[in-house]
Amino acid sequence: MANTTGLTNITGRVIRISGPIIHASGMSGAGLFDVVEVGEKHILGEIVRIEDDVAVIQVYEDDTGLAVGAPAVTAGRPLSVELGPGLIGTIYDGIERPLQSLYQQDGAFMAVGSSGDALDRHKKWRFVPDAALSARIQGGEKVEAKPGMIVGEVAETRAVVCKIMVPPAGIRGVFSALAPEGDYDVKAVVARTTTGGEITLSQWWPVRKPRPSVQRLGAEQPLLTGQRVIDVFFPLSKGGTAAIPGGFGTGKTMTQHAVAKWCDAGVIIYIGCGERGNEMTDVLTEFPELIDPRTGRSLMERTILIANTSNMPVAAREVSIYTGVTLAEYYRDMGYDVAIMADSTSRWAEALRELSGRMEEMPAEEGFPAYLPTRLAEFYERAGRVKTLAGNEGSVSIIGAVSPPGGDFSEPVTQHTKRFIRCFWALDRELANARHYPAISWVDSYSEYADEVRPWWEKVDAYWDSARSGALELLKKEQRLAEIVRLIGADALPDNQKLILITADLIKNGFLQQNSFDDIDMYCTPAKQVGILSLIMEFYEKSLALLKRGLTMVQINELPLREHLARLKSEIKNDDEAALIAFGEEMRKTLDGLRR
């Protein structure tokens, strides 16, 4: 919610109401995207169009009972969010109202016009000033307050230290004072400049405006998730963009949960955008119970949840993803790697469609507004790995779930999303029905980050690229052979093609499939991932060489190697690299023994 203190207000009158879209006259002088409070209940809204002195306002709350002639008062600034210590572990709605506080205030259903401070005004935080900056100021040095400069820090949780920064805009001059270590609330001034600038523990930023950075960096560092099909086959880089499309029940939310829990990002932001209430309830109850593998404590100590269920006003759903990405950029500027889970962008696009229809705009494909691709691009382009204003490196990775009706990937939201993302994890209903988890299709999925993260992976294991490309090629061959098998049966195939089917089955069941309930298999380290796949591919190559020397598949199948290879993922612990090496030596010895 925007901070409106001390700003000039413009008051108009409501002349037309169409659901969440309100027209108000007498608004000349108001700015596009300014925050507006409408009616006696102070319903919060935002100006989305201005025609002469008439402003078109989309409101973020139920406006039932609002009448023509009601006042509409501007705040004089765009919709903004408050940033500071206390964000982590909190559950907000799309306009950064704290839902837990509002529940205590209003009960299970929020009253229209309800508001609450995004950050607790009464809680005291231990502020520790930057030692080097403090010494320079005390020594009489004239230190300029540059945008993004870190003046101190607050231990927000055990997992996240909140850096107190000079806001990117509005503060100039030379530091005149820096507060000593002590306990302060979020509005306390901890630094001052000679031009009258005051730096508090919190700051405001417009949600639709990207926070600035010095330089965008390359995508050569992978965002590790511990999921083999993602990390090895379709990797995502830190600062990258990915989409998870799939029909109902294919596992979009579960895949995002796994990535949120296991990925090596410092901060997680989960945006429930238009999801059903029962699904969002599951997220709100399960996330606090998830244990962070890094700290052994609750995952909520590095997580922010934004909840906008399908029965909430559509306008708030539309703005929720901008709120989420603004929070992510705030922690990125501190030097953290942040991962955003947006579930789902299809519901967000449906909100755009409804609002566009209410504003009587010309519809495009399937009724979506013509600017749908532009809005998707505005969201995904805010991802990236950057050099921050303070000189650190930070990243925002965006993983958006897409819910195409009927699982049809040719519908507009999925197709437009593919234009702006570089990693596509397509969920397959047949795999989901077969309880193959994660149900990511190796046929329809792709990643354009593979070449960029290759140098990083080859430092882990030089065989990463050859094992990956060889396995993908084998799966393609197996797909072509599957049509022949359906016609004539597998027994009619020559031995070299039977070997392809056997190895592809090993890749699917012994490598790609993971058991989220298995203490060993729920997460897989990079070294173990490449080690298992390399052993499977080595089994194929050596077996193929034996077939060329005259041996048969019957002789190879009699060996217990297949069963052992399929069980490596759950039998060998992540830190037991010696066991993988020992198995590889035993496998080579066994296969070489068939030659004599």
E strand intervals along 408-452: 423-424, 446-447
Q: Give the helix, strand, coil percentages of the chain, each rounded to 5.
A: 40, 25, 40
- Distance (Å, whole) CA 84 – CA 102: 20
- Distance (Å, whole) CA 351 – CA 368: 9
Query: Which of 262, 266, 400, 393 lies closest to 337 in space, CA to CA?
Result: 266
**Is 1.10.10.10 the CATH number for 461-593?**
no
CATH level 2 (architecture), domain 216-453: 3-Layer(aba) Sandwich (3.40)
The pTM (predicted TM-score) of the whole model is: 0.92
Where does residue 283 rank: exposed (0-12), middle (13-18), buried (19+ CB within 10 A)? buried
User: Which residue has 């031995």 as its token pair?
Assistant: 495
* Confidence at residue 1, expressed as pLDDT on a 0 to 100 scale: 45
- Distance (Å, whole) CA 70 – CA 17: 11
* Confidence at residue 4, expressed as pLDDT on a 0 to 100 scale: 41
Instruction: Produce one character per residue of 168-188: b if its CB has 16 or more CB atoms within 10 Å, e if not.
Output: beebeeebbebbeeeebbbeb
Query: CATH number of 125-204: 2.40.50.100, 3.40.50.620, 3.40.309.10, 3.40.190.10?
Result: 2.40.50.100
Q: Is the dihedral of CA 529, 532, 537, 541 positive or negative?
A: positive
* Confidence at residue 9, expressed as pLDDT on a 0 to 100 scale: 82
Phi, psi of 249, rounded to the nearest 5 degrees = 85, 10
The whole-number mean pLDDT for each consecutive block of 10 residues of the chain, a chain of 596 residues, reads 54 93 92 91 91 92 90 91 95 88 77 84 95 92 94 94 94 93 96 94 95 95 96 97 92 88 92 77 74 78 87 82 96 97 90 90 92 95 96 96 89 95 95 93 95 95 94 94 85 90 95 92 94 96 92 88 92 92 93 76
Phi, psi of 534, rounded to the nearest 5 degrees = -65, -40
Q: What is the DSSP string of 257-290?
A: HHHHHHS--SEEEEEEEEE-HHHHHHHHHHGGGS
Identical topology for domains 125-204 and 461-593: no
Do the Cβ atoms of 45 and 58 come closer than 8 Å? yes
Q: Which two tokens stand for residue 348?
A: 């967000």
Residue type, 568: L
Query: Which of 479, 476, 460, 444 lies closest to 534 in space, CA to CA?
Result: 460
What are the beta bridge partners of residue 244? 401
* Confidence at residue 487, expressed as pLDDT on a 0 to 100 scale: 82
* Confidence at residue 342, expressed as pLDDT on a 0 to 100 scale: 93
Query: CATH number of 11-78: 3.40.50.300, 2.40.30.20, 3.40.30.10, 3.30.1280.10?
Result: 2.40.30.20
What SS3 state is found at 182?
A: strand
Q: Which two tokens stand for residue 526?
A: 């990079």
User: Which residue has 């294919």 as its token pair?
Assistant: 250
- Distance (Å, whole) CA 214 – CA 391: 8
Query: Which of 533, 519, 516, 593 lies closest to 568 in space, CA to CA?
Result: 533
* Confidence at residue 113, expressed as pLDDT on a 0 to 100 scale: 74
Give the start-to-end residue ranges of the domains of the chain: 11-78, 125-204, 216-453, 461-593
* Confidence at residue 8, expressed as pLDDT on a 0 to 100 scale: 63
